[in-house]
Chains A and B, each alone.
Chain A
Amino acid sequence: MTSQTPVSRLMGKRRFGEAKIIVHVLRSDPLSIFALAVIVLLVFTAIFTPIVAPSKTGSIFLPPSLSHPFGTDGLGRDLFIRVLLGARISLMVGILVVALSLLIGCPLGVIAGYFRGTMVDEAIMRITDMFLALPPLLLAIAIAATLGYSLTNAMIAVAISWWPWYTRLMRAQAASLRERPFVEAAKGLGVGEIKIVFRHILPNSLAPIIVQATMDIGSAILLTSGLSFLGLGAQPPTPEWGLMVSRGRSYLGSFWWYATFPGLAIFVTVMAFNLLGDGLRKALDPRLRIKRRLF
């Protein structure tokens, strides 16, 4: 091994081999494959439904049938189409919320962790604690109540209450990575601190973040649909799943399909992301890679 190879490039080589193993492990886990399939299906639905879907209407409150697989709602709109349209909204919500939380939380966390023990760390952690102390739903309610009820505001609310988790996660990762030999080596080679933080520590902390973020996409969808259910998020006529469930609530006894199917959609979607995240966690943890027998 030459001494000229930059540290990060060596790590890059290792990571490529890792990627192959990760894919292999994922492929062998039936639940992960299932989850991935569902998500791909969702993305497909999200992209293509607005384009190809016919706007079918029928009489109001039709039960599920061949022409209306999920029945119709109080305005006669086909629920199946509406649920499919909702996929796009929910996926966007999930991804945007997580992306926003990551954007705020990760850099803060890496900085706090790398400069652990200093004023910078303390300051960041105190602010984080303040936001962490707020139960997400409550903060979301408070913000939504202030800024008005809309899906965008609900998303902002969730992101604001969520970024502290990533900060904490990143901080723990960065703090432990800081002690590793390769960081010392980089410092010894004269690499500047900022560069170390962003070129070396950040990429290596990604594994648990990826796992968490994947599962959080599901949780974000769960939370924002909950807010919409309470009326604080999406407003009618948006085909948002949580909103549809709350609309359907009044017709529980007689027209059960109105509330059931959108909720089912939420369930399946969130579960897919959670399963995928769980499978990723297995795949990314080298210690879990022992093959075991089924019985």
Chain B
Amino acid sequence: MGNDKWLYVAEVHDIGKLFLKGLKHNLEDLIEEFKKYGIGLEWPIVQSILKHHCKLSPKDWDIQLYPDSYETLLVHLADMLASQASRILRKLEAVLRKYKLGINYRVYKLWKGTISISDAPPLYGRDYQIFEYIKSDPSGRNFLRRFRRYLLIRAENALNGANITTLYSHSILAGKFFRLLYKYYYKKICSIKINFNKRDDVCEKAHIILNSLPIILVYARIMSPQYIYRVKDLNVFKIIKDILKEFEGKYQDHILYRGFNDILFVDIPSASIHKELISRANEYGFYVDIQALYSTPCKGNNRILGINPRKIAKRFNFRRKMLPINGYKQHYLEYSKDKYEDRYIYPELENYIKPPICDICQLRPATKTWIDEESGLIEHLCEKCYRVRTYTNGLYKLAAWSEGTVAWVRISLNIEDLEASLVELYIEYLRRLGIHNARDLVIAIEKEEGLVSPTLLQEFLWDYYAFLEKIENLIFRIFPTENIEGIDKSFYVIKIERSSDVITFTERYNSLLQIYFQQLVQVEEYEPITLGISISHVKYPFHKHWRLLSNIGRGFLLHIHRKGLVEASYKELNATLQFFRSPEIIERRRALYKALEIANYSRLLAKLELRKHLKHIPRKVNLQLLRMLLELER
């Protein structure tokens, strides 16, 4: 390749899908037009569009061209890896004949439902724009920016039932995978003899390559062993965020997902980028919870890349990599084909520590002392925890609050539950299209290949991040700015002046959740997005809040120190909030407050009291939550 002319062209490979109907989207019928516009057919961007598919025996109306160079072969491989719906399509095709599902060029968002329906791609009939664009941007660098709004509505696969991802995420991922293959495996692929004159040989070699290149799919969660005593100790979150952000910035093409303290990425054994993440985390004494899948991009005809290494390992019967006793102290991952590894990777741990031990992490000898200016208390810290304490801190407001009540608010996303709920939503989608055996069909697909691909995850994350933005605005609208300390867009500590504001916030959050994820909230079994609110005196230790907020079992958690703790599902939250504002409650509020007194002795008896005072309680109402809402309003 030699230069970077190819680096961004893989993103453009499906541009035809924005303009043309039908399967043949590689513009091979418009070759004359290229010439008319003075575009060279040998340009990498044109090559990537024309030759990104390799069909063994295409019908007359299907794509005829196929990769005829190592570069176009790389585009084809990247397209295959990024492709969401190939497998689904194959399984669905048999069903299609019976059900006639039809075409919709608009994307269907599983968590939201139908957005719009169209029988034509967004730029249908405006072919001239393709050529104008290619001429103006032959490197492909501006493609995503320029066509973003169209790419975001065009389904990658227009077949109803398979139209669940956009062309935008597909194009992004194809670009990422292309650059990864180019960077790490181009030489290796070039060393494979391929007869580019023979379609069969190219297709076969593509299959072999994807079944032989070693990759590691890594899900990593940075964990802090530090007990948080002081505001300065909250630096751990900022540091973790900074580490992940820095890592993502450096290895953008590897990253499939980045959360609050977790990340999903593709590692290549020769690159071992995980080492950098682990050693950065270890610098601050953090340990890393790692799930690693050692494999190749494909297993037979099935794509390996998914979002949950543990589930993929189970699907393909990969065995867990067992380590000898001393192996637990081993710091990095070692590739071992078709194995799965799940462990915590700690910084250096000594067998014995002579006192004093670090007060904060209790994992290393204390070598530094920290004297608290206010109380004069002396703490013994290790080098790493001292480093955490002295990291630039922006939490000035929290440090100044010495009295009053605070609410710690955290919105989190559980990737494992997200995957499970997306599968359920997909079954529901197919059912709505009239496929009665949708569950069997999806289970059959799931056995061979994960339905939820990185593309689908990417799509979801865009909406999730937009949702978080809205929540941030909401918080700043409800609470005074000087009372809000934002640790992250999904994590806040708020000084509470009126506890009823917490109810207002919960109500608005619930409304937003219903708007942004109207289908997702209907799934009963899984609740991947969780809101946790933990309220206490400002001096109540943070790690008690964190323990609750980092392990929320259901969609909503409310904890009021010494008043109780409740978890509720999305449906319960919605029903309880509606019931809370109903005349039934408003009319009896005084009697209900009285009933709450008994909650000081027993939460169950408090529920009983509420039941006695209320004539009709709708089915999904959570009485414990209702009690706590009443407590907050009182």
A interacts with B = no
